[in-house]
Structure 1
Amino acid sequence: MLEARHLRIVRAISDTGSLTKAAVELGLTQPALTHQLHRMERMFGGTLFVRDRRGARPTALGLHVIERARVVLPSMDALVREARILAEGQDSTAPQVRVAIHPSPLPVAVVAALRELMPCGQISLRTESSGQRQLELLAAGALEVAILTEYPSLPMPRPAEIVVHEVVTEPLFVALSESHVLAEQEEISLADLSDESWIIPEDAEARTAEHLRHICDEAGIVPTVAYRVTSQVARDLVARGMAITLFQPTAAATDGLVFRPLKGSPAELRHVIAVRAASPVARYGAELAEAARASYWTHAARSTAYREWLGRHRRVGERRPRSRPAVQ
């Protein structure tokens, strides 16, 4: 009999591209996960994933099951949550506001604004590094709000079920060891980093590697991605001079590490607030975006390197660099 845990397994394998990583994410041993996968393949009557040295890639049958799982699982999770609310005697009529976030200066201010705008709302918060995944959850009715990022050169689709408010588009800075030969430069050419080892933080936006390859290709270089680690480990590696990486310009300073702008700002990141059109939150989308924007510029003012960059690149009389207008 098909169970929710089976669908979670195929979704995890698809998201991570690896049986080993999926097992870690789900808290299973790899043999146990492999056994369950074989059981599902017998149940569905065909192979769900092709496994080779590059990882696990879904077959046509696997893609069909994964797509259905992404729709079914959020509904099942919502059913469990609602049933628990009723069992505990809570007010099930209070609007549920489920929020997914990506690490940035925005989430706390947006949640605070939500509490003021919807004081009776039942607000919950979760982290989701993939903007595409957040949009899928919104479209499936499993979220009401997503605070996410995307690369302007790799924009995500805007499903009809979602209203998108663009908050601000920022330049990404390169993080270097303070002892790096280029650390004293005001701005650094991407081409001058051709011999460096790069880090892709595991908690970065899912398309970070693709974005890095794209901007390096434009500069005529091929990046060597040597590490895929958490942001904290990335900071330690950079501080020791072992690698470099891209960071948001509002990132907090760390001993031994400096942030420097790239000449021409080839790497950009867009901050976005997305709300489900059919949710009670939709009417407050513009106000949430404004709260996010105010929080962003408060954090920006704390970064010396970013303040200096803004001073060099903003137009006369302009307090902030222009952000793209909201798409609604």
Structure 2
Amino acid sequence: MLEARHLRIVRAISDTGSLTKAAVELGLTQPALTHQLHRMERLFGGALFIRDRRGARPTPLGLHVIERARFVLPSMDALVREARILAGGQDTAAPQIRVATHASPLPVAVVAALREVLPASQVSMRTEPSAQRQLELLAAGALEVAILAEYPSLPMPRPVEVVVHEVATEPLFVALSSRRALAAEQEVELALLAHESWILAEDADARSAEYLRQICDRVGMTPKIAYRVTSQVARDLIARGLAVGLFQPTAAASDGVVFRPLKGSPAELRHVIAVRAGSPVARYGAELAEAARASYWAHAARSPVYRDWLNRRRAVLNRM
């Protein structure tokens, strides 16, 4: 018979990518966890993970079970808490605050703010690059907080179960080799990149390719998306002059790579803090967004290229 603890095992293996790490996280011995996993695989009728020296990766069947587990477990936990309260008992467990984030300068500040406003809570965080997925998990009760980003021209839906606080909207800069002639320009015309090979991060949001094609279409070009690679490989390719890519303006500098604004700022990204309505965090959403905003602008101030762009923009606005 399937039990909640079985689903927790599957989720832990997926989150950690390792049976050994999952066993430590759950307080089990590895043989005990392996035995439970074999029982589940017999129950479901197939392997849930491919196990090799790289760790444990979900099979298609495993992905299906994991996805359902992420929705079912929070509902089961909530049922137990509510039942204890209705029965006159006391739920003494510390609030569980589950946070998902994409790559951004915001997560540390948000976690620190959570520690301030909910000091007794247990905060956990994991990376989830898909904004759509983050919102689905929030709406389903599988997360309390999401740190996500959306493209203003491709806005994400706003489920009624989710409260959204906007943090900042930034221009996206183009990353290119410092040896390129365009690196000497203060700003780069997007149309001048028509024949370049473009990079998308391997964990980029699913809409990133659609957005790149959208902004390129406005200047009559079709981007050649040649690489979907890790951030480090992306930077190496760019440094060698083999590719270009869109980056957040707060991205850290690296040897051989420069970031340049696109003329007219055709590409933008909006940073958002989303909280689940009715969760312990809901009342503090504005405070989390304010902490994230302060962190964002602190990172912006440390980027010379972004700082110069902001100063030029303020000067133009002041003359209007």
TM-score when normalising by structure 2? 0.75
Determine the C-alpha separation between the residues in 1 that align with 2:102 and 2:79: 25
Residues 27 and 69 of structure 1, relative CA distance in 2, 3 Å threshold: closer
Distance (whole Å) between structure 2 residues aligned to residue 293 and residue 136 of structure 1? 24
Q: 2:266 maps to which residue?
A: 266
For residues 252 and 312 of structure 1, the distance between their equivalents in structure 2, rounded to whole angstroms, comes to: 21
Distance 1:179 1:316, change over 3 A: closer
- The structural deviation recorded for 1:301 is 0.4
Question: Partner amino acid for 2:72?
Answer: S
Of all paired residues, the percent bearing the same amino acid is 66
Partner of 1:183, secondary structure, is helix
CA distance in 2, matches of 1:297, 1:93: 36
In the TM superposition, 1:2-81 aligns within 5 A as 27-28=56-57, 33=59, 70=67, 73-76=70-73
**What displacement does 1:141 show?**
0.2
What does residue range 79-158 of structure 1 map to in structure 2 within 5 Å?
Answer: 92-158=92-158
Provide the C-alpha distance between the structure 2 equivalents of 1:263 and 1:159, rounded to a whole number of angstroms. Answer: 35
State how far apart, in whole Å, the 2-side matches of 1:294 and 1:254 are. Answer: 24
Aligned residues: 266
Distance 2:131 2:50 in 1: 23
Deviation string, structure 1 residues 28-60 (Cα, Å, up to 9, x no partner): 59xxx47x59xxxxxxxxxxxxxxxxxxxxxxx
SS state at 2:183 partner:
coil
Change (3 A) 1:80 1:277: closer
CA displacement, residues 282-324 of structure 1 (integer Å, 9 cap, x when unaligned):
0000000000000000000010100110011125788xxxxxx
Q: Which runs of 5+ in 2 are unaligned?
A: 15-48, 81-90
* Shift of residue 23, structure 1, vs aligned partner: 6.4
Measure the CA separation in 2 of the matches of 1:219 and 1:102: 29
Q: Could you tell me which amino acid in structure 2 is paired with residue 192 of structure 1?
A: L
Question: Residues 82 and 174 of structure 1: is their aligned pair in 2 closer, same or farther, counting only changes over 3 Å?
Answer: farther
| RMSD of aligned residue pairs (Cα, Å) | 3.1
Report the CA distance between 1:72 and its aligned residue: 5.1
Q: Which residue type is aligned with residue 73 of structure 2?
A: M
SS at match of 2:155: coil
Find the counterpart in structure 1 of residue 32 from structure 2: none
Determine helix, strand or coil for the equivalent of 1:225. strand
Partner of 2:285: 285
Residue 246 (structure 2) aligns with:
246
- Deviation of residue 207 (structure 1)? 1.0
| C-alpha contact 2:75 2:141 (8 A) present in aligned 1 | no
2:196 paired residue number: 196
- Taking the aligned partners of 2:66 and 2:310, their CA distance within structure 1 comes to 45
Tell me, in whole angstroms, the C-alpha distance in 2 between the residues paired with 1:200 and 1:308: 26
* 2:167 and 2:290 in contact (8 A); partners too: yes
- State the partner residue of 2:162: 162
Cross-structure match for 1:276: 276
Aligned to 1:86: none
Query: Secondary structure of the equivalent of 1:278?
Result: coil
**In the alignment, what sits opposite 2:176?**
176
Contact 1:188 1:260 in 2 (8 A): yes
SS in 2 for 1:203: coil
Contact 1:235 1:257 in 2 (8 A): yes
Inter-CA distance 294–155: structure 2 relative to 1 (3 Å threshold)? same
**1:222 and 2:222 matched:** yes
Deviation at 1:27? 3.2
Answer yes or no: is the 8 Å Cα contact 1:82–1:92 preserved in 2.
Answer: no
Give 1:95 deviation, angstroms.
1.0
* Contact 2:74–2:141 (Cα < 8 Å) also in 1: no
SS in 1 for 2:126: strand
Secondary structure of the corresponding residue to residue 179 of structure 1: coil
Q: In structure 2, the residue corresponding to 1:254 is in which secondary structure?
A: coil
Contact conserved, 2:215 with 2:267, CA < 8 A, in 1?
yes
State the Cα distance separating 1:259 from its structure 2 match: 0.1
Q: Is the 8 A contact 1:71 1:140 kept in 2?
A: no
Determine the C-alpha separation between the residues in 2 that align with 1:92 and 1:182: 60
Which sections of structure 1, spanning at least 5 residues, go unmatched? 12-21, 38-64, 84-90, 319-328
Contact preservation (8 Å) 1:169, 1:271: yes
TM-aligned CA deviation for residue 232 of structure 1? 1.4
Once the two structures are superposed, residues 161-203 of structure 1 have per-residue CA deviations (whole angstroms, 9 ceiling, x without a partner) of 0000000000000000000121100100110000100001112
Residue-by-residue CA offset, 1:75-124 (whole Å, 9 max, x unaligned)? 236758999xxxxxxx8521110000111110000100110110000111
How many angstroms apart in 1 are the aligned matches of 2:219 and 2:144?
39
